[in-house]
Structures are given as structure tokens and as C-alpha cells.
């Protein structure tokens, strides 16, 4: 159940008292039931995060290249520039490796900058190393088992050299196969009515042509060398060439070349199999909208937060990054919370990974969640006491995408499930403070006490999210969710990048500073509806930014004029 008041139970005991070394203690949510001590020979893979040399420098550099008024706009950092900011100090590497060597533990470097190390050790060894007691827990809600300890300590000599160590005391449930972040609405006829009859039909079935008509997305293929889209896949989801080809046959008859996409496996993710819904949706609405832009599905085998880190580390290791990364999955932010310390270190590990991608010129998109102000929970799990934001949408260094619905001119409204709200971990970045203040002033006392007025507010933008015609294992289905909206925005930005690259200009990279300034006028402002997730009143869409649809949906023509003029 999503009971946000329960997360205060996840605390670090004596957070300030421990001058000698650092002990972390947690009280997990009640849904985690201890089963039995972990077998001493069970193997554990732990990731150690060392403090970055200059994280403020990375953030400043990110804003510098992302602020279109800066002389450095678009001068994205090189791989080595970014690594210099986040690489650990030599004394940290020395202290941590010496400590592990004392325990005869081999270390593997797990990130290109060296800020993450990885060790594979037995439970017995981990218990000894960390004065821990690893136990098998079962998540009653999802059935997942987690090997975790209620307490872990690190010695004095590494205390200041080890920022974060996981998974030890972190009770974050992996993405769950039976809880996809979208809903299959209904199968649609095998042979859909042939040609679109104007946008009216789009209120029933959304296909690429609807998005082209309504958002002015060009149908002409992108041509710029070096352009690319990365789609993150989890839960062993896969898309197939057969489904994609049939989708094109029916819905993109204007395209005469065979559509294709690449698959790259990370953490042993599947590379073939029967097409599944989320991956098919994501591929059909990237390849099918960003015509001609090379698209790769990164199939990540680990659906825990570790997999979210592994894909970023994989990408950061490339010399040429994908210019857009779209992810239609997320977690509950409350899972990352506890003491401020815990929240800070766990969440900033992720958020700083996205900042690195942005600094190098990748636009990072995440779905905002599919249950309104209760992120990824289902109705039965909401208690109405406080709203439950999603993760990582609260990270200020990525672009969070909500959902809208309705195609008749001027009537695009909030899709009521559109995730939105305010982070309890990340403070509000300055690029959005004026927009958020306007909203809060207009909102008055509505929902007072249910959300954190000082937190990073999301989503940033939105797009249609209901009735997406998707071919899955040989049948057309209608899908809905911010899962649909997110690849559409990724495609819009990929096509903008195509025009920019062809004009010899840099790609858009981290777009939030631009969107919250001049960019807002190039979007369709959504002013009607609210995100009533869990039956809560939710946040109403109002003129300007709102925590249901962000700044609005794309108008490609206006966006193109804006970015080409930068």
C-alpha cells in the first residue's frame, strides 16, 4: 500500500552521533517480511559509490551548456570532461581498495569515471565486512525477495571515502512484471479501417498520423548522421521486427523502406522472443514517429534500481552517446526515502548519472507515472493522507513527461492518470521556480498539506497518452499511459535534433532550462482537467505550467523555429 507516512519508519539511527565510522540502520516498511537469514554462501553483488571530485562543478557545467543565453550553450562536455568532475579522488580509491584488500576482496571498476566499484562476495563475507546480518525478505505486495540487512557499518578510515553502498539497507522493490506502467485497454480489430479520416478518428485510435497532424510532427525521414534514440527496456520486455513491420504496413504506408531497430543487451536482458506490450509500444512510437532516426532498444536484465544505474554507466562508456534516452518505467519516490542522508545519497547517485548524460548532450526523458498524484500505485494502495511522488521524475536533471487526451481542436485535456506532483527529496531547481510559483499562487489552498511546495515539481511536459494502437505479438491493442507520451516526446526531440545537426548545430541535450523560458510559447498549454489518481482531487491543469501536464504538449513547427534560431 502506498502510505507515505510509513516511510518515516525508514530511518538512520544515530545519524549524527557516529563520529567513528558510519552505521546505517533501517526499519523497513511493513510489507517487507523477514523470511530467514541469507545462506552464508549466497553470492552478493554490491556497488560502492565513491564521492565525486566536483559534483557542483558538473551541475554548473550542465546548466552552462543547457542555458541558451550562455555563450557556452550547446558546447556539450566530452567524455573525459564529465569524468573529471565525477571521478573519485585518488585518496578515496586508495582508502576503499585498501580496506577491501584487507578482506581479500577483488574489486571491479563499475563506471567509466571510476566513481562506482563493484564487489562479488558471499553473504558470510559481507556480514563480516559490514558488521551486517543479511536476511532474505519478501515483499508481500509483489512477491519479490530481497537480500538485505537492517544495519551496516563501515570503518573510520573509509567513512569519508564511501558515499553509498548498495544494496545493503535499501528496501526498494524492483519493477514488477505484473505491474506494467500502462494498461492494456482493449484489443482493436485485426484489420483496422484503412485510411485516417481526419483527427476526429484520433479520439478513438491514436496512430502516428494523429500525432503528425496534431503536433505538426514531420513524416519525412530524418537524415542527419549521428542522430539516434535509445529506448530503455526492463522486465525482459521485447519488441519484434514482425510487429513493427506490420504496424508500418498499416499505419505508415508512406514509408517504403523496411523499418528497423537495434537491440543491445545489458545485464543479460533478452534480445529476442515474443513481442510484449511496453517494448512494442516504445519501439512503435519511436521508430514510427521519429521516422528514419536510428533507434536502439537497450534491454536491461536487472529491473531493480541497479539496472537503472547499469544502463547509464553503459551509455557513459560510449564515445558517441545516443542523443535521446526514453524510459517508461519508474519507482515510488518514498522507496528512496528515509533520513535526509539516505534520500540524499541514494537519489543523488541516480540523479547525478542523468546529469552526466545531459552534460554530454543527451536529452533524458522519463514517464511521470500512471496514477496521478500517487505515481505508480494502484487505487487500493492510496490512503489520501499525502500524495506520493514518483522517482526519478523528481530529479531536476531530466525531463519528466505526463499524459493528455483529446484531439478536437483546443480540447486537449489532462489524462486523469497523468503522474504529477512535487518531490520530497529534490529541491526545486531555479529554472522552474517562477512557473511553479505562478501555479501555486493560482492554486491557493487546494491540496494544502498533501504535497511539498518546495520540492522539484513534475512533469515538465506532456503528450497524448490514451488509445495508442500498438501491435503486440501479431494483434493490435490499444494502450494508455505516460508510457505512450514519453517516446512521443523523445521522437519530437530526435526530429528537432535532426534539423539541428543538418544545420551544423549541436543537439538539444538537457532541455528543461529552454522549455521553462522561451520554450513554453512553443507548446500547447493544457488548461483543463486534473490528475485525479486514486480518486483524489489531484492537481488541476491551469494556464501555464501545472503538475498534471507540465508546460504542455509539443508544437513541432514552433519548436523548430525556436531551436533553429538559437
**Residues that constitute the known binding site for Ca(2+):** 525-526, 544, 546
Interstrand relation of 523-524 and 475-480 (parallel, antiparallel or unpaired): unpaired
Smallest gap from residue 9 Cβ to ligand NAG (A): 13
Please answer whether residues 421 and 387 qualify as being in contact, where contact means their C-beta atoms are separated by less than 8 angstroms: yes
Question: Is 278 an active-site residue?
Answer: yes
Residue number, 168 or 375, with CB nearest to ligand NAG: 375
Residue 446 sits at φ, ψ, to 5 deg, of -55, 135
State the DSSP code for 37: E
Catalytic residue among 278, 412, 460, 555: 278
Torsion 250-495-458-353 (CA) sign: positive
**Distance between CA 206 and CA 51 in Å, rounded?**
46
Q: Which residues are annotated as a binding site?
A: 525-526, 544, 546
Residue number, 392 or 465, with CB nearest to ligand NAG: 392
DSSP E strands in 38-158: the ranges are 43-49, 108-109, 116-122, 135-139, 145-148, 151-154
Catalytic residue among 304, 334, 483, 491: 483
**Distance between CA 60 and CA 359 in Å, rounded?**
10
State the DSSP code for 202: G
Smallest gap from residue 61 Cβ to ligand NAG (A): 4
Smallest gap from residue 101 Cβ to ligand NAG (A): 31
Residue number, 299 or 553, with CB nearest to ligand NAG: 299
Smallest gap from residue 381 Cβ to ligand NAG (A): 4
Distance of CA 168 to the CA centre of its chain: 23
Q: Given the rule CB under 6 A, which residues bind ligand NAG?
A: 1-2, 60-61, 64, 70-72, 141-142, 173, 175-176, 179, 274, 331-332, 340, 344, 347-348, 376-377, 381, 424-427, 452, 454-455, 473-474
3-state secondary structure 455-506: EEEECCEEEECCCEEEEECCEEEEEECHHHHHHHHHHHHHHHHHHHHHCCCC
Residue number, 321 or 351, with CB nearest to ligand NAG: 351
Is residue 533 helix, strand or coil?
helix
Residue number, 116 or 202, with CB nearest to ligand NAG: 116
Smallest gap from residue 451 Cβ to ligand NAG (A): 9
Smallest gap from residue 198 Cβ to ligand NAG (A): 33
Q: Let me know if 191 is exposed, middle or buried by CB neighbors in 10 A (0-12, 13-18, 19+).
A: exposed
Question: Cis omega (within 30 of 0) on the bond before 167?
Answer: yes
Residue 530 sits at φ, ψ, to 5 deg, of -155, 160
Interstrand relation of 455-458 and 421-427 (parallel, antiparallel or unpaired): antiparallel
Residue number, 84 or 124, with CB nearest to ligand NAG: 84
Smallest gap from residue 277 Cβ to ligand NAG (A): 10
**Distance between CA 310 and CA 111 in Å, rounded?**
8
Question: Is 483 an active-site residue?
Answer: yes
Residue number, 23 or 424, with CB nearest to ligand NAG: 424
Please answer whether residues 513 and 67 qualify as being in contact, where contact means their C-beta atoms are separated by less than 8 angstroms: yes
- β-pair partners for 186: 478
Catalytic residue among 212, 282, 460, 498: 282
Residues labelled catalytic = 278, 282, 483
Amino acid at each position: 500500500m502506498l502510505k507515505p507516512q510509513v516511510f518515516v519508519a525508514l530511518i538512520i539511527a544515530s545519524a549524527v552521533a557516529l563520529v567513528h565510522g558510519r552505521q546505517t540502520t533501517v526499519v523497513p516498511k511493513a510489507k517487507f517480511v523477514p523470511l530467514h537469514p541469507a545462506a552464508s554462501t549466497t553470492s552478493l553483488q554490491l556497488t560502492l559509490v565513491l564521492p565525486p571530485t566536483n559534483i557542483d562543478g558538473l551541475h554548473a557545467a550542465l546548466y552552462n551548456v543547457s542555458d541558451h543565453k550562455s555563450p557556452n550553450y550547446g558546447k556539450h562536455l566530452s567524455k573525459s570532461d564529465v569524468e573529471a568532475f565525477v571521478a573519485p579522488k585518488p585518496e578515496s580509491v586508495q582508502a576503499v581498495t585498501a580496506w577491501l584488500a584487507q578482506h581479500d576482496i577483488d574489486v571491479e571498476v563499475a563506471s567509466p569515471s571510476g566513481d562506482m566499484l563493484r564487489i562479488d562476495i558471499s553473504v558470510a563475507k559481507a556480514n563480516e565486512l559490514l558488521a551486517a546480518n543479511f536476511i532474505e525478505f519478501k515483499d508481500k505486495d509483489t512477491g519479490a525477495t530481497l537480500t538485505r540487512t537492517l544495519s551496516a557499518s563501515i570503518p573510520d578510515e573509509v567513512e569519508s571515502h564511501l558515499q553509498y553502498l548498495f544494496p545493503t539497507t535499501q528496501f526498494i522493490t524492483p519493477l514488477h512484471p505484473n505491474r506494467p506502467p500502462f494498461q492494456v485497454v482493449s484489443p482493436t480489430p485485426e484489420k483496422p479501417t484503412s485510411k485516417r479520416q481526419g483527427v476526429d478518428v484520433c479520439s478513438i485510435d491514436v496512430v502516428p498520423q494523429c500525432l503528425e497532424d496534431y503536433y505538426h510532427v514531420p513524416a519525412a525521414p530524418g537524415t542527419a548522421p549521428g542522430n539516434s534514440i535509445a529506448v530503455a527496456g526492463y522486465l525482459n520486455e521485447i519488441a519484434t521486427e514482425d510487429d513493427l513491420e506490420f504496424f508500418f504496413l498499416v499505419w505508415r504506408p508512406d514509408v517504403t523502406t523496411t523499418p528497423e531497430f537495434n537491440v543491445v543487451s545489458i545485464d543479460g536482458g533478452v534480445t529476442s522472443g515474443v513481442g510484449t506490450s511496453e517494448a512494442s509500444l516504445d519501439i512503435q512510437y519511436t521508430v514510427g514517429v521519429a521516422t528514419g532516426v536510428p533507434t536502439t532498444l537497450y534491454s536491461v536484465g536487472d529491473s531493480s534500481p541497479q539496472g537503472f544505474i547499469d544502463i547509464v554507466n553503459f551509455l557513459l562508456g560510449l564515445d558517441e552517446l545516443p542523443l535521446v534516452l526514453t524510459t517508461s518505467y519508474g519507482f515510488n519516490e518514498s522507496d528512496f526515502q528515509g533520513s535526509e542522508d539516505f534520500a540524499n545519497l541514494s537519489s543523488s547517485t541516480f540523479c547525478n548519472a542523468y546529469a552526466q548524460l545531459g552534460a554530454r548532450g543527451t536529452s533524458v526523458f522519463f514517464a511521470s507515472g500512471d496514477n496521478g498524484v500517487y505515481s505508480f500505485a494502484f487505487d487500493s494502495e492510496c490512503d489520501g493522507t499525502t500524495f506520493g511522488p514518483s522517482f526519478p521524475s523528481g530529479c531536476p536533471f531530466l525531463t519528466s513527461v505526463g499524459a493528455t487526451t483529446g484531439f478536437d481542436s483546443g480540447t486537449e485535456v489532462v489524462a486523469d492518470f497523468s503522474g504529477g506532483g512535487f518531490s520530497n527529496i529534490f529541491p526545486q531547481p531555479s529554472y522552474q521556480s517562477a512557473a511553479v510559483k505562478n501555479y501555486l499562487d493560482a492554486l491557493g489552498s487546494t491540496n494544502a498539506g498533501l504535497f511539498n511546495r518546495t520540492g522539484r515539481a513534475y512533469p515538465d511536459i506532456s503528450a497524448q497518452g490514451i488509445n495508442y494502437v500498438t501491435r503486440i505479438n501479431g494483434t493490435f491493442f490499444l494502450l494508455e499511459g505516460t508510457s505512450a507520451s514519453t517516446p512521443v516526446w523523445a521522437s519530437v526531440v530526435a526530429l528537432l535534433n535532426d534539423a539541428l545537426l543538418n544545420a551544423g548545430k549541436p543537439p538539444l541535450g538537457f532541455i528543461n532550462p529552454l522549455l521553462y523560458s522561451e520554450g513554453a510559447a512553443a507548446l500547447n498549454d493544457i488548461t483543463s482537467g486534473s490528475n485525479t489518481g486514486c480518486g483524489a482531487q489531484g492537481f488541476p491543469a491551469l494556464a501555464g505550467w501545472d503538475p498534471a501536464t507540465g508546460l504542455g504538449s509539443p508544437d513541432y513547427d514552433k519548436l523548430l523555429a525556436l531551436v533553429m534560431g538559437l
